């Protein structure tokens, strides 16, 4: 085992192919259904929204998908990302566990999201597309697609959930610095936005509404397409560069993980870290513990239902079988904005259903407490979302201390918190509160799941 703290790969060791878990699943994913017919969608149904190459990646069962050279060339700006051994955190916890983290905060926008934004922008440009539309909640995805758009010469329109648009002016400024247009959602620009505003002019918006707006605009024009920052198979595929690099770095460290941990909003950074390890386990008949960590305020995996549901509030999207709180679920205003989506990636949901991962939920105060300890020991201030993974890693390390066992923990530190300092300010001021739904409030949105869910 190395005594290095920072385990860095040479610059030329960026993976040459993404890893596709669909090649190794013990049972295939449930088909995506057309909301009108209830029949499985074909490539033609998705091509109004996504270029053919991404539709093909959504469905392929090939184990490896080659990363195009222009995409690798952009990845080189920040990849390979470092893997750290959290020695000071281990000391502070007095744990015999060895804790490692993969740090995705070194990207231009400060999170893992450019890993897919760059790939999506590339394939759209190859297909002759001029403009991309998307939604953003906390602003991370909007910034990442704006960055990717400027790299490949595409216009980008971002529908930003109104509450974040107001709370996070610096995220909007960053999108504009990259040349994107950022619109508060719901907006007057779309039918979906106007409908919601007519019912509730004061609404602060939601991710589901912003998706409806972005999809509506893209569906109406041939030279405009839509980009999604999480949930879909091709997004998770692109994120596997995280885990592929981490496997090599763990080997360099002379160690191998017993527990893998990631926070889950739509599931992409979590999947990016764990899927390459899980694929290897499935092929070799081994088993590494895998923990998906979510907020108690948006408990998609721990309390949602595994059922067919829409991806958006306006019901423009196809039906996906996933863990969901219902497309009309409106999460409370917790600060981990990236973890406030009603659904979970179909791949992650399927793995949970097969019993291949454990899901845990934590309250936001204990997550901030963990994030502050991490900042004071490791020096990086994590994004509020990432604090959930930090919390779970610390809980595991504390268990190792109590049991006197020496497990190896690897978690994904998916982003830094430099744009989220208001959240830390609120935490230090004591104005953050924990939030947990009672069964009745969860049932309201679940009762509105589409009919096919019963089948």
Ligand X SMILES: *Cc1c(COP(=O)(O)O)cnc(C)c1O
The residues, any chain, with a CB within 8 Å of residue 378's CB and separated by 6 or more, are: 84, 86, 88, 89, 101
- What gap in Å lies between CA 176 and CA 161, rounded to an integer? 16
The tokens for 443 are: 């049932």
* Residue 386 near ligand X by CB under 6 A: yes
Interface pattern 218-247 for ligand X (x via CB under 6 A): ------------x-----------------
- What gap in Å lies between CA 96 and CA 396, rounded to an integer? 11
- Candidates 115, 268, 349, 364; binder of ligand X (CB under 6 A) is 268
306/419 with CB nearer ligand X: 419
Residue 60 C-alpha from the chain's centroid: 21
In whole angstroms, the minimum distance from the beta carbon of 388 to ligand X comes to 8
In whole angstroms, the minimum distance from the beta carbon of 38 to ligand X comes to 28
243/407 with CB nearer ligand X: 243
* Residue 113 near ligand X by CB under 6 A: yes
Helix axes 191-199, 207-219, angle to 10 degrees: 150
Name the segment binding ligand X (CB under 6 A); options: 150-158, 378-386, 390-398, 446-454: 378-386
224/298 with CB nearer ligand X: 298
336/400 with CB nearer ligand X: 336
Name the segment binding ligand X (CB under 6 A); options: 26-34, 352-360, 379-387, 391-399: 379-387
Name the segment binding ligand X (CB under 6 A); options: 14-22, 62-70, 120-128, 380-388: 380-388
CB 13 within 8 A of CB 248: yes
Longest CA–CA separation in the chain, Å? 62
* Residue 415 near ligand X by CB under 6 A: yes
Window 16 to 55, contacts with ligand X (CB under 6 A): none
* Residue 120 near ligand X by CB under 6 A: no
Half-sphere exposure of 299 (CA within 13 A, CB side): 20
224/361 with CB nearer ligand X: 361
Q: How many helices (H) and strands (E) does the chain have?
A: 19, 15
- Candidates 49, 253, 414, 445; binder of ligand X (CB under 6 A) is 414
In whole angstroms, the minimum distance from the beta carbon of 404 to ligand X comes to 33
- Token pair 């998908």 is at which residue? 65
- Token pair 């009672």 is at which residue? 438
Name the segment binding ligand X (CB under 6 A); options: 76-84, 183-191, 295-303, 382-390: 382-390
The tokens for 235 are: 């997004």
- What gap in Å lies between CA 2 and CA 38, rounded to an integer? 54
Backbone angles phi, psi at 261, to 5 degrees: -135, 135
Half-sphere exposure of 450 (CA within 13 A, CB side): 24
In whole angstroms, the minimum distance from the beta carbon of 405 to ligand X comes to 29
- What gap in Å lies between CA 394 and CA 374, rounded to an integer? 9
CB 347 within 8 A of CB 271: yes
- Give the count of residues interacting with ligand X (CB under 6 A): 20
Name the segment binding ligand X (CB under 6 A); options: 157-165, 268-276, 281-289, 297-305: 268-276
- Candidates 57, 107, 115, 140; binder of ligand X (CB under 6 A) is 140
79/113 with CB nearer ligand X: 113
Residue 272 C-alpha from the chain's centroid: 9
Window 315 to 344, contacts with ligand X (CB under 6 A): 338-339
| 3-state SS track over 33-62 | ECCCCCCECCHHHHCCCCCHHHHHHHHCCC
- Candidates 208, 267, 299, 304; binder of ligand X (CB under 6 A) is 267
Residue closest to 6 by CA, chosen among 98, 103, 135, 91: 103
164/313 with CB nearer ligand X: 164
183/414 with CB nearer ligand X: 414
CA dihedral of residues 32, 244, 93, 401 (deg, nearest 10)? 80
218/339 with CB nearer ligand X: 339
* Residue 269 near ligand X by CB under 6 A: yes
95/105 with CB nearer ligand X: 105
Question: Residues interacting with ligand X, by CB under 6 A?
Answer: 111, 113, 140-141, 230, 263-270, 338-339, 383, 385-386, 414-415
């Amino acid at each position: 085992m190395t005594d290095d703290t920072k385990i860095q790969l040479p610059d030329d060791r960026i993976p040459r192919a993404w890893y596709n878990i669909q090649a190794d699943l013990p049972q295939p994913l449930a088909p995506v259904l057309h909301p009108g017919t209830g029949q499985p969608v074909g490539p033609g149904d998705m091509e109004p929204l996504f270029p053919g190459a991404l539709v093909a990646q959504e469905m392929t069962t090939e184990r490896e998908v080659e990363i195009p050279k222009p995409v690798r060339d952009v990845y080189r700006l920040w990849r390979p990302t470092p893997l750290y051994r959290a020695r000071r955190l281990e000391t502070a916890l007095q744990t015999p566990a060895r804790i490692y983290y993969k740090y995705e905060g070194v990207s231009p926008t400060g999170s893992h999201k450019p890993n897919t934004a760059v790939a999506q922008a590339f394939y759209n440009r190859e297909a002759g597309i001029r403009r991309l539309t998307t939604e953003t909640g906390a602003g991370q995805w909007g910034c990442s697609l704006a960055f990717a758009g400027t790299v490949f010469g595409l216009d980008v329109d971002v529908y930003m959930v109104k509450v974040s648009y107001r709370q996070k002016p610096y995220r909007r400024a960053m999108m504009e610095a990259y040349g994107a247009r950022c619109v508060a959602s719901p907006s007057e620009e779309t039918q979906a936005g106007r409908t919601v505003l007519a019912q509730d002019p004061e609404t602060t918006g939601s991710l589901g509404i912003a998706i409806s707006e972005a999809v509506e605009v893209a569906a109406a024009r041939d030279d405009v397409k839509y980009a999604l920052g999480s949930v879909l198979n091709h997004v998770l595929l692109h994120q596997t560069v995280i885990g592929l690099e981490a496997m090599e770095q763990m080997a360099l460290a002379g160690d191998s993980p017993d527990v893998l941990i990631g926070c889950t909003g739509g599931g992409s950074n979590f999947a990016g870290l764990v899927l390459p390890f899980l694929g290897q386990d499935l092929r070799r008949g081994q088993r590494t513990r895998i923990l998906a960590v979510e907020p108690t305020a948006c408990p998609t995996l721990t309390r949602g239902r595994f059922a067919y549901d829409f991806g958006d509030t306006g019901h423009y999207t196809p039906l996906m079988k996933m863990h969901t709180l219902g497309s009309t679920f409106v999460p409370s205003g917790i600060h981990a904005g990236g973890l406030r989506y009603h659904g979970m990636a179909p791949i992650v949901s399927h793995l949970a259903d097969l019993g291949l991962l454990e899901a845990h939920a934590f309250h936001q105060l204990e997550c901030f407490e963990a994030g502050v300890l991490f900042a004071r020991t490791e020096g990086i201030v994590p994004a509020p979302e990432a604090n959930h993974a930090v919390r779970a890693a610390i809980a595991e390390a504390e268990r190792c201390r109590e049991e006197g066992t020496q497990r190896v923990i690897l978690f994904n530190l998916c982003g830094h918190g430099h744009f989220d300092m208001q959240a830390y300010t609120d935490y230090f001021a004591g104005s953050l509160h924990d939030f947990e739904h009672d069964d009745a409030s969860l049932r309201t949105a679940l009762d509105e799941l589409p009919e096919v869910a019963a089948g």
